[in-house]
Amino acid sequence: MDQLRTFANQYRGRRAALSEGWSAAGGDALKAFCDLYRAAGDPGDLQWVLDGLARRVREDGTMPELRTDGDLPAALHCGKALFFALDETGDGRYRIAADALHAEARRGGSIVCRPDALYMALPFLAEYDRRFLAGLETADIARQFIGARAALFDEDRRLYRGASGFPAQATGWVLMALADCVGQMSEQLYEHRRVLMDQFLEAVRGALPYADEATGLFRQTLDRPDAPLDAPASAMIATALLKGVRLGLLNPERDLTPGLKAFGSLLRRGFAPDADGGAAFLMAWSEVRAAELPIGG
């Protein structure tokens, strides 16, 4: 665990630029340290998130640097940390900012049907819906996932398409989006929650046969045996598998081992603190810590 804590501290230090602005990478880092603080309780992680939000959100809840006409999903991805900060501080500015982001999202209509956009945007909407709307928008979130499956899922390969072919990142984004949203939905809204649970299980069953037998990692293009292994995408898929087990969406006797095997391989290979995929690696570690799992491989 010392190795992992050292990596997290180095990642915080070397990714200082991500502590401001409303980029996708900034959202990844914010979510990673929110998750890690919930799982491990290191005060440095909490402070990094709060300091970053202080640069984004003024005391009156306004967000002067926000440009939602550029990349609304990325802004919503960063906005997930607002709920965390509201819980940790009780500061009303974060509710005001979350309200403003939600209003922007609703003015824009449906989220762009792209795997990364689904992951960045829909979990924010699902958490806002659970906290403040008592599930009034759950049906619309389920509808957007149904539409994404119709547009992106290949029935023959049982994989999600990306911009070209079947990149592992596309499956990773969809799996994390589904797991995060299911985790926010009330069990009382079973009909809509079931839609997401079924899509999650379908995507897991489609992806796992493509895992590298020796390492448990996934290739950049899932259906190409000659493609190189993709550490960032593998970290995303491992995170989704571990979270799926923790939430009761997957069978631990069958599905825990692939998640731990991939995480263990990533741990042995090592991540540079400034490398792509570092945030997803920290999210996977958060799932290991949250469930008090042994690190396998």
Map out the domains of the chain as residue ranges.
2-290
Confirm if 74 and 66 have CB atoms less than 8 A apart: no
Residues 6+ apart with CB under 8 A from 10: 273
Residue 176's nearest CA partner among 256, 280, 297 is: 280
What contacts 24+ positions apart, CB below 8 Å, involve 204-208?
A: 204/175, 204/240, 204/241, 204/244, 204/250, 204/255, 205/158, 206/157, 206/158, 206/159, 206/171, 207/159, 207/168, 207/171, 207/175, 207/237, 208/255, 208/258
Tokens found for residue 219: 């290739």
Give the residue ranges of the chain where pLDDT is below 50.
296-297
**What is the rounded CA–CA span in Å between residue 278 and residue 32?**
9
pLDDT given for residue 70 in this prediction: 66
Question: Coil, strand, or helix at residue 167?
Answer: strand
**What is the rounded CA–CA span in Å between residue 31 and residue 266?**
20
pLDDT given for residue 109 in this prediction: 76
pLDDT given for residue 266 in this prediction: 93
pLDDT given for residue 285 in this prediction: 94
Ranges of beta strands (E only) in the chain are 153-154, 159-160
Tokens found for residue 213: 């037998």
- Classify 2-290 by CATH class: mainly alpha
Confirm if 121 and 72 have CB atoms less than 8 A apart: yes
Amino acid at 119: Y
What DSSP character marks residue 215? T
Tokens found for residue 198: 């079924």
Burial readout 210-222 (b: 16 or more C-beta within 10 A, e: otherwise): bbeeebbbbbbbb
* CA 114 and chain centroid, separation: 14
Tokens found for residue 39: 């799982």
pLDDT given for residue 273 in this prediction: 67
